[in-house]
Amino acid sequence: MIIRDSVDSDLNALVELHREAFGETEGDRVARLAVELLQDSTARPLISLVASVDGLVVGHVIFSTISVEGDAERSGYILAPLAVHPAFQRRGIGTALIRRGIERLTQLKADYVLVLGNPDYYQRAGFTATHTILPPYELDYPEAWMILRLNQDGVGETKGVVRCAKALCWPELW
Ligand X SMILES: CC(C)(COP(=O)(O)OP(=O)(O)OC[C@H]1O[C@@H](n2cnc3c(N)ncnc32)[C@H](O)[C@@H]1OP(=O)(O)O)[C@@H](O)C(=O)NCCC(=O)NCCS
Report the sign of the C-alpha dihedral through residues 107, 110, 112, 114, in that order: negative
Looking at beta carbons, which residue is closest to ligand X? Answer: 94
Task: Determine the Cα–Cα distance for residues 146 and 5; give it in Å rounded to an integer.
Answer: 25
The number of beta carbons lying within 10 Å of the beta carbon of residue 67 is: 16
In this complex, which beta carbon is closest to ligand X, that of residue 27 or of residue 74? 27
Name the minimum Å distance from CB 117 to ligand X.
3
Segment lying near ligand X (by CB under 6 A), choices 3-11, 76-84, 132-140, 162-170: 76-84
Query: Which positions from 20 through 39 interact with ligand X, judged by CB under 6 A?
Result: 21-22
Question: How near is the Cβ of 103 to ligand X at its closest, in Å?
Answer: 16
Cβ nearer to ligand X, comparing 67 with 89: 89
Give the whole-angstrom CA distance, residue 110 versus residue 41: 18
DSSP 87-131: GGTTSSHHHHHHHHHHHHHHHTT--EEEEES-HHHHHTTT-EE-S
Q: Can you say whether the dihedral through the CA atoms of 144, 136, 139, 40 is positive or negative?
A: negative
Size of site (CB under 6 A) for ligand X:
16
Region 86-145 residues binding ligand X, contact defined as CB under 6 A: 89-95, 117-118, 120-121
CB 77 within 8 A of CB 63: yes
- Min separation Cβ 163 and ligand X, Å: 21
Q: Cβ closer to ligand X: 22 or 170?
A: 22
Contact residues for ligand X (CB under 6 A)?
21-22, 82-84, 89-95, 117-118, 120-121
